[in-house]
């Protein structure tokens, strides 16, 4: 599969770029320390900015890999880093995922988009704007034929973001937090064919 890595993207209101260790303070303050943001995610709130710095330092070593996709979401108007969005191979973490996509070719993995943004930026369409941007990047810079998204059932607002970006509900599933806690989820699918025929998508 042809990959393109994490390149800079721009939308009307956002810059999407690599997350850097110097973003640690804003990441910690704007979303990583907030239990309201992380309650539907796999990870727990960070205890301090040093924990955030350690994570960003680890991520920085992965950026040279062409199949690593992890962006900071930056608000143009304020310069604030207020969230992150990534595309990752879900099949590497859970081989059983393959059986849930019987009509899709999983030879190159199951590539899933995931995102989180700080509470002060909720309900402004910014997550949708970022998801549309990375989706457009995926279908224009790689030869992947499909992309997935997944959200906790208890977080239907995230499902609306996915639908606005063109994703279609596919199946219910159970995901797990990093500590093993099961979470009932909904999985969505966007195929290259659907993406290319949706006139309202970028």
For the chain, which residues make up each domain, given as ranges?
A: 9-197
Which pLDDT does position 40 carry in this prediction? 87
Which pLDDT does position 178 carry in this prediction? 83
Architecture of domain 9-197: 3-Layer(aba) Sandwich (3.40)
Q: Across the chain, what does the average pLDDT equal?
A: 94
Q: Which DSSP letter does residue 100 get?
A: G
Calculate mean pLDDT across residues 42-65.
95
Residue 66 parent element (H or E):
none
Q: Which DSSP letter does residue 102 get?
A: T
Calculate mean pLDDT across residues 114-134.
97
**Structure tokens that stand for 36 in this block:** 């309201």
Calculate mean pLDDT across residues 155-176.
94
Which pLDDT does position 201 carry in this prediction? 58
Which pLDDT does position 24 carry in this prediction? 98
Question: Phi and psi for 159 in degrees, rounded to 5?
Answer: -65, -35
Which pLDDT does position 180 carry in this prediction? 82
Measured CA to CA, the distance from residue 81 to residue 31 in angstroms comes to: 9
Measured CA to CA, the distance from residue 187 to residue 102 in angstroms comes to: 14
Residue 108 has pLDDT above 80, yes or no: yes
The per-residue pLDDT for range 181-199, each reduced to its tens digit, is 898 999 999 999 999 987 5
Calculate mean pLDDT across residues 26-34.
97
Q: Distance from CA of residue 127 to its chain's centroid?
A: 9
Determine how many CB atoms are found less than 10 A away from the CB of residue 16: 22
Which pLDDT does position 197 carry in this prediction? 86
Q: In this prediction, what percent of the chain has a pLDDT beyond 70? A: 98
In whole angstroms, how far apart are CA 110 and each of 50, 100, 102, 177, 194?
Answer: 32, 10, 12, 18, 17
Residue 202 has pLDDT above 60, yes or no: no
Bridge-based pairing of strands 168-176 and 182-191 is antiparallel
Q: What Rg value do the Cα atoms of the chain yield, rounded?
A: 16
Residues 135 and 147: beta-carbon distance below 8 Å: yes
Any idea which residue has 């599969």 for tokens?
1
Give per-residue burial for 127-149: e unless 16+ CB within 10 Å, then b: bbbbbbbbbbbbbeebebebbbb
């Amino acid at each position: 599969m042809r990959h393109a890595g994490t390149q800079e993207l721009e939308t009307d209101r956002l810059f999407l770029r690599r997350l850097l260790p110097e973003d640690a303070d804003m990441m910690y303050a704007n979303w990583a320390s907030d239990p309201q943001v992380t309650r539907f995610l796999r990870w727990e709130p960070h205890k301090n900015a040093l924990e955030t710095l350690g994570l960003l330092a680890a991520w920085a070593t992965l950026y040279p890999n062409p199949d690593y996709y992890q962006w900071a979401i930056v608000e143009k108007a304020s310069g604030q880093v207020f969230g992150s969005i990534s595309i990752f191979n879900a099949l590497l973490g859970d081989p059983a995922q393959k059986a849930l996509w019987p009509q899709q070719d999983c030879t190159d993995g199951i590539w899933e988009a995931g995102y989180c943004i700080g509470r002060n930026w909720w309900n402004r369409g910014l997550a949708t704007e970022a998801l549309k941007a990375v989706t457009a990047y995926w279908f224009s810079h790689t030869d992947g034929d499909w992309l997935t998204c997944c959200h906790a059932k208890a977080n239907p607002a995230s499902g609306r973001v996915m639908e606005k970006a063109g994703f279609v509900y596919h199946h219910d599933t159970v995901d797990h937090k990093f500590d093993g806690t099961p979470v009932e989820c909904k999985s969505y699918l966007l195929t290259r064919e659907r993406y290319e025929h949706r006139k309202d998508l970028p």
